[in-house]
């Protein structure tokens, strides 16, 4: 039974159109078609009727196949487009495919038209048509059958002596040989295969196949070298014997599956997992892995290494004066300067914020001190110009020796951090070599000082809440914006203290549950007061996002506390969205999953914050039923100048949508970035381009006025 197919034929010749129709009929279709040969007629037919496929001649008087392709993409972008020609060259065919054509077929080889159409139809139709094609082709030689089934990959068939008998267009592209040139040639002259790692030639796949008398596959490390153009492709090679109807082997078929793009993506993801997105330096995770390896080698081989911990002085001035984008640019330029000082065997890493680490491999302490001072001098001499301002920054460096007695990773990192603190405490812009009492000094004057200040701020009611709007970017979320609450602290001189100054100490000394509960209690009280004044308060538009720390996720009493506060303040749970960072969620996966499910059962919502900083996070999404993904600002803020960052944002957004999760772009600091995240289909945006953080009282006043 023929399959009905609605096909639009763009062809100036009635005879050629009839030939195409007969070819379609011979391929198992009952074509319902129209023929057009002008742009105007084609546009009218495309917009007035529905079509399953468009087949176009390449060269026509006054109207060519590429113009027809552009018109199809404009009017019916989802309809497959196939170019048919008797004169098209390889370069034109490649240009057509890059422009969006789904396939091209030569008029003297129209037997490819049916299979080409079948590949582009819906999956169910494709399977049915393929079964039909298999029945039609059953009486043909097995060589033709396997070749047609593998047409999407490179296919080469040979006789039993290993000489090429046929190559499909994909195999021609991969090898650089034309089918007519390759026929009769020994396979290993046409196909140059080497091991990716050793670059040694791989054995003849046909010999292995004939000796095994069964299908064989090469390892995933196979690399195809195209001698004509000196190009390389990562491929998966499968070789199967061809048999006649009596079962005798009459040759072999090789299927070449091009995985170059997949391997490139894998390498890219591997690079992102080990490198800082802003500076391109090694990130903290990779640095700690290399440091751990160096510590082990120092113990095992009695080697001596050194580590420098660098913390920039006066960097905050640049950020506060010019904004994060300018601060990021300073970090990138300074990272390039620091790399000029160290050897290729050393490791320079960005550990976070304005902190860097240097691992000096096989370097005694006296030589390491010279390198540390060279790093300090490079920073001191560096001048960062921005518009009409010139900034000078310094660096405090903590230096620690790594030897057989250094302890573990945490010990070395803590020692270097403490030495860096001492360098700051002694006047900044200096190098301090770690001494045994440095850790005690750093603890006493550093984080413990913040612990005291945090405790006093809670007691003296000097904690304050700020808010920042999160707005929708598309018509599917009309009025669906909300806002995030941000914790701040005021010192005794009434100066505002940002969370980056005191939150690390609160996290290390287990004060975060206290701060989190203060935020929840205070936020709920604010919202209860607003709802009392505005009974018709719009839940969807003004949903409130509250951050939770990793320690709170593991607090067994926090769920009861939230339920108690919701009941006390008479708040609908749908009004609250809790935010947890990706790293905190992964570190406390079981606790996070339980808390999310229980609070969502009440009606609360959840967002996964800073998403994308851990590349293993996609798998964890299956166990974290969140409502929103907040794409980490390190990928968002420099999208206009960072194609890779823009691609990561696109990927995260698409994966989130596939899983039914809405996405939020963080750190949208200008209109250009705002427009780009909107073009990518991100659902919401947050950042300076929309609103700077403001006191929560001001936000609630504005909400009250809008609601009123």
pLDDT along the chain (708 residues), means of 10: 85 88 88 89 88 86 86 85 79 78 83 81 56 56 52 82 87 86 88 80 81 72 75 83 82 84 66 80 89 91 92 77 80 90 91 90 92 92 82 89 88 86 82 75 59 84 92 72 88 83 80 92 88 62 84 88 92 91 77 88 90 62 84 89 89 90 93 93 93 84 62
**Quick one: pLDDT at residue 615?**
47
Number of other CB atoms surrounding residue 295 within 10 Å: 22
**Quick one: pLDDT at residue 400?**
93
pTM exceeds 0.75 for this model: no
Residue-range domains of the chain with CATH: 3-136 (3.40.50.2300), 141-258 (3.30.450.20), 272-445 (3.30.70.270), 470-707 (3.20.20.450)
Question: Any long-range contacts for 600-605 (C-beta under 8 Å, 24+ apart)?
Answer: 600/625, 602/563, 602/566, 602/573, 603/572, 603/573, 603/574, 604/562, 604/573, 604/574, 604/576, 604/577, 604/578, 605/543, 605/574, 605/576, 605/577, 605/578
Side-chain-facing half-sphere of 20: CA atoms under 13 Å: 32
Strands, DSSP E only, in 216-323?
216-217, 222-226, 231-243, 249-258, 305-313
**Quick one: pLDDT at residue 302?**
87
Length of the chain as a residue count: 708
Tell me the C-alpha distance between 556 and 177, whole Å. 67
**Quick one: pLDDT at residue 127?**
46
Which residues are registered as beta bridge partners of 463?
489
Q: Are the C-beta atoms of 549 and 512 separated by less than 8 Å?
A: yes
């Amino acid at each position: 039974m023929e399959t009905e197919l609605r096909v639009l034929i763009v062809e100036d010749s009635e005879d050629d159109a009839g030939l195409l129709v007969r070819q379609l009929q011979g391929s198992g279709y009952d074509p319902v078609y129209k023929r057009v040969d002008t742009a105007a007629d084609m546009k009218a037919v495309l917009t007035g009727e529905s079509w399953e496929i468009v087949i176009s001649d390449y060269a026509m008087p006054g109207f060519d196949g590429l113009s027809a392709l552009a018109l199809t993409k404009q009017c019916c972008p989802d309809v497959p487009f196939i170019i048919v020609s008797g004169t098209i060259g390889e370069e034109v065919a490649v240009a057509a495919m890059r422009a969006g054509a789904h396939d091209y077929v030569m008029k003297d080889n129209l037997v490819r038209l049916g299979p080409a159409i079948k590949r582009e139809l819906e999956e169910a139709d494709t399977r049915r048509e393929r079964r039909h094609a298999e029945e039609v082709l059953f009486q043909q030689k097995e060589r033709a059958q396997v070749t047609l089934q593998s047409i999407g990959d490179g296919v080469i068939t040979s006789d039993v002596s290993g000489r090429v008998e046929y190559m499909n267009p994909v195999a021609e592209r991969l090898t650089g040989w034309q089918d007519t040139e390759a026929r009769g040639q020994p396979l290993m002259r046409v196909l140059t295969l080497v091991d990716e790692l050793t670059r040694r030639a791989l054995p003849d796949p046909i010999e292995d196949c004939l000796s095994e008398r069964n299908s064989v596959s090469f390892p995933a490390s196979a690399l195809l070298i195209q001698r004509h153009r000196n190009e390389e492709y990562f491929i998966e090679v499968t070789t199967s014997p061809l048999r006649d109807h009596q079962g005798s082997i009459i040759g072999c078929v090789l299927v070449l599956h091009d995985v170059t793009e997949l391997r490139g993506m894998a390498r890219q993801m591997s690079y992102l997992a080990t490198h800082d997105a802003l500076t391109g330096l090694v990130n903290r995770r990779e640095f700690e892995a290399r440091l751990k390896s160096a510590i082990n080698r120092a113990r095992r081989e009695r080697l001596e290494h050194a580590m420098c911990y660098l913390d920039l002085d006066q960097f905050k001035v640049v950020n506060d004066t010019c904004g994060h984008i300018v601060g990021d640019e300073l970090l990138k330029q300074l990272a390039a300067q620091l790399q000029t000082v160290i050897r290729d065997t050393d490791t320079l890493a960005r550990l976070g914020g304005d902190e860097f680490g240097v691992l000096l491999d096989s370097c005694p302490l006296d030589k390491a001190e010279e390198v540390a001072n060279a790093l300090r001098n490079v920073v001191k001499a560096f001048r960062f110009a921005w518009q009409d301002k010139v900034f000078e920054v310094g660096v405090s460096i903590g230096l620690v020796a790594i030897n057989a007695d250094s302890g573990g990773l945490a010990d070395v990192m803590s020692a270097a951090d403490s030495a860096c603190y001492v360098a700051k405490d002694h006047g900044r812009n200096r190098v301090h070599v770690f001494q045994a009492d440095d850790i005690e000094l750093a603890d006493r004057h550093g984080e413990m000082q913040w612990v005291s200040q945090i405790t006093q701020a809670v007691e003296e009611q000097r904690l304050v809440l700020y808010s920042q709007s999160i707005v929708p970017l598309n018509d599917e979320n009309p009025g669906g914006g909300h806002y995030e609450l941000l914790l701040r602290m005021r010192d005794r001189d009434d100066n505002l203290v940002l969370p980056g100054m005191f939150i690390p100490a609160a996290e290390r000394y287990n004060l975060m549950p206290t701060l989190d509960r203060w935020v929840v209690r205070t936020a709920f009280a604010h919202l209860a007061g607003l709802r009392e004044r505005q009974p018709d308060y719009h839940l969807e538009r003004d949903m409130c996002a509250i951050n939770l720390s990793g320690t709170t996720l593991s607090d067994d009493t926090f769920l009861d506390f939230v339920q108690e506060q919701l009941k006390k303040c008479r708040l609908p749970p749908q009004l609250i969205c809790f935010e947890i960072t990706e790293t905190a969620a992964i570190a406390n996966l079981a606790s996070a999953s339980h808390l999310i499910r229980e609070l969502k059962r009440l009606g609360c919502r959840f967002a996964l914050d800073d998403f994308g900083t851990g590349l293993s996070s996609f798998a964890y999404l299956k166990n974290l039923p969140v409502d929103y993904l907040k794409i980490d600002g390190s990928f968002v803020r420099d999208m206009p100048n960072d194609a890779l960052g823009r691609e990561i944002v696109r990927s995260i957004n698409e994966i989130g949508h596939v899983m039914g999760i809405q996405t939020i772009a963080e750190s949208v600091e200008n209109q250009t970035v705002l427009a780009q995240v909107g073009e990518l289909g991100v659902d919401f945006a947050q950042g300076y381009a929309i609103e700077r953080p403001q006191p929560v009282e001001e936000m609630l006043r504005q909400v009250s006025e809008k609601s009123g």
